[in-house]
């Protein structure tokens, strides 16, 4: 098994427990929460202790290890049947991130072939998924950075960094590789309401790495592009449809429209496990609707007029026609369409 190590580790397995860096507390506090049962893992995914499609998938894999341990202890003869309830609990935690369902399906396939105590084999598989994700992020970083032709500043939205993956990051993996190669000179980060992932997480990661970062409100993006201050928008994804439509944090679609108008390139970096070939186009991607309170309040304090309603979709879909490049560990797709995406996914 490949070694799991990186400077920022959102997910750890130590002392027979899953440990998650509580991303709700960053940047003010760095605290790992221990988990030893699957229901709590599902709640952690739902409550944004851990977020980002690859990280959610890895967390679910470790959650299945915990579920198998408990189910085998209570019924060695029937644990495979009983664990299905736990798999469904995990599947219901976040509906948009396809990596969650990929990880559950993969671990279910491993479970089918097991005899005896399932924990050692399932733990090995979860740790392999974790290590493979870090390796994939590093490969994406190399491929994405290679697309950048001259030293430039970039804009990113939400957090697609080490915190959203097993480590290193997807979009921020490209940033890390590009900065190391002298191709990316500065990062502009949208704050990303309502959870402020850009402000709390992306800016924090960049400061940790010594990469120059400037935070801005989402509404400043158009003015930034008009001034010609960035060459690329680089984002991650929670699900990519078979035609190249991309679901990502709410606000991404608007950035793609702005980028096309201003002649700024738009790059999506995501592992191949994020591509869902069963979804024909983006209109079929389920979009998670979260609590209105996330928009109506900030840090637990109301910020809106009493009686106001709120609409809070967690994601939007960017049409493939607005995407210049999709970068995965399997390769790069320029100007994505159905045929190019199919060729990518056949390239195992």
- Would you name the residues annotated as active-site residues? 238
CB atoms within 10 A of CB 332: 18
Nearest to 64, CA basis, from 135, 136, 114, 1 = 114
Q: Supply 133's token pair.
A: 């994700």
**DSSP output for 11-72:** EEEETTEEEEE-TTSTTT---EEEE-SHHHHHHHHHTTSS-SHHHHHHHHHHHHHHHHHHHH
DSSP letter for 133, please.
H
Sequence-distant (6+) residues with CB within 8 A of 33 are 19, 20, 22, 44, 49
Is the N-terminal amide bond of 27 cis, ω within 30° of 0?
A: yes
Give the angle 265-191-51 at the CA atoms, nearest 5°. 90
CA atoms within 13 A on the CB side of 248: 32
How many helices (H) and strands (E) are present in the chain, helices listed first?
12, 16
DSSP letter for 201, please.
I
CB of 288 closer than 8 Å to CB of 95: yes
Q: Tell me the CA distances in angstroms from 309 to 98, 164, 249, one per residue in order.
A: 29, 30, 21
CB of 104 closer than 8 Å to CB of 125: no
Tracing tokens 């390769």 back to the chain, one arrives at 331
Bridge partners of 14, per DSSP, are: 17
């Amino acid at each position: 098994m490949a070694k799991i190590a990186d400077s920022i580790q959102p997910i750890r397995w130590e002392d027979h427990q899953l440990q998650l860096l509580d991303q709700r507390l960053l940047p003010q506090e760095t605290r790992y929460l221990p988990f030893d049962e699957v229901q709590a893992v599902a709640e952690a995914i739902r409550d944004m202790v851990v977020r980002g499609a690859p990280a959610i998938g890895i967390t679910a894999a470790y959650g299945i290890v915990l579920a198998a341990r408990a189910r085998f202890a209570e019924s060695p003869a029937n644990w495979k049947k009983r664990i299905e309830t736990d798999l469904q609990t995990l599947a219901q935690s976040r509906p948009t991130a396809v990596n969650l369902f990929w990880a559950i399906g993969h671990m279910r396939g491993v479970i089918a072939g097991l005899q005896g105590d399932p924990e050692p084999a399932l733990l090995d598989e979860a740790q392999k998924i974790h290590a493979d994700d870090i390796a994939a992020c590093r490969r994406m970083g190399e491929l994405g950075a290679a697309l950048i032709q001259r030293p430039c500043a970039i804009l990113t939205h939400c957090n697609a960094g080490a915190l959203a993956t097993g480590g290193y990051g997807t979009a921020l993996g490209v940033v890390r590789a590009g900065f190391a190669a002298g191709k990316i000179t500065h990062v502009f980060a949208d704050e990303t309401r309502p959870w402020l992932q850009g402000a709390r997480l992306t800016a924090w990661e960049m400061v940790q790495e010594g990469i120059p970062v400037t935070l801005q409100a989402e509404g400043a993006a158009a003015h930034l592009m008009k001034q010609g201050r960035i060459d690329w928008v680089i984002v991650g994804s929670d699900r990519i449809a078979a035609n190249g439509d991309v679901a990502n944090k709410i606000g991404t679609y608007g950035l793609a429209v702005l980028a096309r108008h201003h002649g700024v390139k738009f790059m999506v970096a995501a592992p191949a496990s994020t591509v869902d070939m069963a979804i024909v186009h983006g209109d079929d991607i389920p979009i998670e609707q979260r609590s209105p309170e996330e928009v109506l309040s900030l840090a637990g304090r109301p910020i809106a007029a009493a009686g106001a309603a709120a609409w809070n979709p967690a994601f939007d879909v960017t049409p493939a026609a607005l995407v210049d490049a999709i970068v995965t560990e399997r390769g790069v797709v320029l100007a994505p369409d159905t045929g190019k995406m199919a060729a990518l996914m056949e390239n195992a």
